[in-house]
Chains A and B, each alone.
Chain A
């Protein structure tokens, strides 16, 4: 199982090489892996349909309870099969769609890595592993949306998708960790086995809100629905795969997965139904408003995701079955329609609904796929889409639920009916339209996937017992967390759901007939409104403006200002706690020793000179004197190591500062007024005084020498060194030292870089001034 999840990553890394060797056949070569994965996952169909669940686990970070554990039940198996099956055709399709593109290899790499992430996501049992794969899908999605990185729109869409889904992902992480804490386990299968523990926990609401944030952003629920249509900037294979069939369903998957643990409460039902219902209607309306094939499909995807969330929110067994049936149906017909839209774009050069017509005869395979998929999407018998829609109505009409739920579902479905016919039929019938280039049918790889998925939509409708027993039934049982009778059929007599279907078809047909007018009317109504997409821009602009004003305040560009702030903060940080805790300075007069006193006098003299002297060179020398004095103090009081280092540091400081003064164009003399000299001197005295007071307080109080004793004892016995300071530096605390020497190296490189930069600038200036001199 672990190998199956990681294999796409491994192959993904090799994809550019495969492209180089296999050329335009790279798609065919690489599609072998997802096809093999289909076979691999298919072997679990029998056991899972028989009610078994399978677990696989490999240790990863056992000390934190994190393992690479996978769990196969009806829900994860349905997803895994959809991901690998549709993935097979998408890889084929991508190879043909981007044929000859310089970066096809890279594209296939991202695509396969996404496949691995998505498989890991739906199969993960461990909450941390789930989160890791969840974020990997966001990242690979970012790379795929931004594939045409030379276009500003693509970059914006990629970043937007990453910000929205990545932000939600962080909320999800917090939610998952809280959940693991509350339930006392890291494995979902354990956590969800007894849902009452979570539901009755005081953190329940916090967990729910955080998990919903993750699910709603990923599955593009209102008000986060805006990123999905923008993600259509990606090449069509990506839209068909990530942004209709798989990744955007991750949120739905999460809700379905969590249903046994977090579902069943009032707040769960209401929140999911309200957000799902709003997304369904909003997405469907926006779909009808657009005239670009891909955007229309994207908006209906938003609507479908809303419907799924809505159904999971209802939570009754029939609604759960409807959700799984619709999810299954949607992945097939929407994946097919996206590939059809891509092929039309590829064959004609446009995706504008009102420029396309009469393509049926020129693109027979694509047209057949489009028509079949559209029939399934519109929910007409005997397609599987019909069964799914019937079950949606069964779910909403289920005993005692308010009728408004059915009304919402009818509205959404009717709008999607109209869009289905507009996208799947309109381009292929009527007189040939005026397209940018002469239409032509694509190669086999461009239509085989769409046609297969469309035909399967019909197949699973006709043979509903197969879809029921192998796919929808086990998934619904996994989501419901309880045994339930699942019995899918095409015709169940003339009952309420059929009436709802007839109403849907009637309204849908009307909207299709008046498609253009409805679209224009919606455009007039919606376009001037403020939307979250504009809100996103305003939000990002506000962040940049805030950052700019803050850095403008802090980063003045004057070194002396930085020093001023740093030292003031240092003095305050040292003095304030002492003021609160009371000053415990005990001062002992040093013994009257001529040597000691002369060293102290020398040090103070140096310090005083630094403050008064106007020549910078002499001031630096005076500072050296002061530092040397301190080194002497160390030497006199038995710290030869420290004295040694101090002396060297002082010497080099003087050398380097002198070089700075003499080599760089700074003023040789001090230009500060008496006021500023006094102020700077006061700050200097304050910092020095504060630190001295701190040291006196510390040495005045009884010292805990535990650490010194520890190092003293072990320095020679364990580290074979008598110089404790050095042993600490290079052995006991070697990691700290490694960090410090890394800083020293980086500082060295930075100084070289800065000086080189300055030299180049002055060289440019001199060239420019020479240029001015010559006539």
Chain B
């Protein structure tokens, strides 16, 4: 798209959005946020980047094909559920790790891994769709 303002602002904006999306993902457990919203923000970042800088640049920025990101997210979410089976609980029961050096962290858990999986699925699927539509014949 030939808009000077957009083209100038986008790299900065997209980077910020991406950073913000990860922030939203991680704070989601205690404050408004989470993998789904974070993923939507991340996907918007890539979508706006693709519109401003062109599809090829956006694909380069993402390194791997978006649908592969979605697939690995789904796999991660499913695997995070398998962990509990190894500990003898039902599938998808949250497992927590309280490291000795930070007993109050309450953060290292399969639940957070699951949320990261959700994030990756949303980023991958939505930006994949946006990229495919953006593609010119």
Contact = CB atoms under 8 A, between A and B. Distances in A.
Say what secondary structure dominates the interface of chain B: helix
Interface of B: 24, 28-37, 40-41, 43-44, 47-48, 51, 66-67, 70-71, 73-74, 77-78, 81, 91-92, 94, 96, 106, 109, 111, 114-115, 117-118, 121-122, 124-126, 128-130, 132-137
Contact of A741 (B43, B67, B122, B136): B122
A755 B114 CA distance: 30
A730 B115 contact: yes
B50 to A, nearest CB: 9
Given A748-B125, A751-B132, A652 B114 contact: no
A439 B70 CA distance: 64
A648 interface: yes
B47 A742 contact: no
Contacts of A58: none
A660 B77 contact: no
Given A648-B44, A652-B44, A745-B125, 12 more contacts: A641-B34, A652-B47, A664-B133, A719-B111, A722-B30, A726-B29, A734-B111, A735-B92, A741-B118, A745-B73, A748-B125, A752-B128
Contacts of A667: none
B31 A730 contact: no
Given A722-B29, A738-B92, A752 B40 contact: no
Contacts of A729: 34-36, 118
B121 A648 contact: no
A285 B98 CA distance: 80
Contacts of B78: 738
A655 interface: yes
Interface in A654-707: 655-656, 659-660, 663-664
A747 B125 contact: yes
A720 B81 CA distance: 17
A725 B111 CA distance: 14
Contacts of B128: 748, 751-752
A652 B33 contact: no
Interface residues of A, number: 43
7 contacts: A644-B37, A648-B41, A729-B36, A737-B114, A744-B122, A745-B124, A748-B128
Contacts of A655: 44, 47-48, 51, 130
Interface string A718-736: 0111110111011100110
A757 to B, nearest CB: 11
A708 interface: no
Contacts of B29: 720-723, 726-727
A748 B94 contact: no
Nearest to B116: A730
A749 interface: yes
Nearest to B120: A741
A640 interface: yes
B124 A748 contact: yes
Contacts of B122: 741, 744
A752 B67 contact: yes
A755 B121 CA distance: 20
A435 interface: no
B32 A641 contact: yes
B67 A738 contact: no
Nearest to B112: A730
A725 B36 CA distance: 11
B19 to A, nearest CB: 16
Contact of B81 (A660, A663, A722, A734): A734
A744 B121 contact: yes
A744 B121 CA distance: 7
A517 interface: no
B129 A748 contact: yes
Q: Give the one of A640, A748, A749, A762 with max B CB within 10 A.
A: A748
A649 interface: yes
B126 A663 contact: no
A719 B28 contact: no
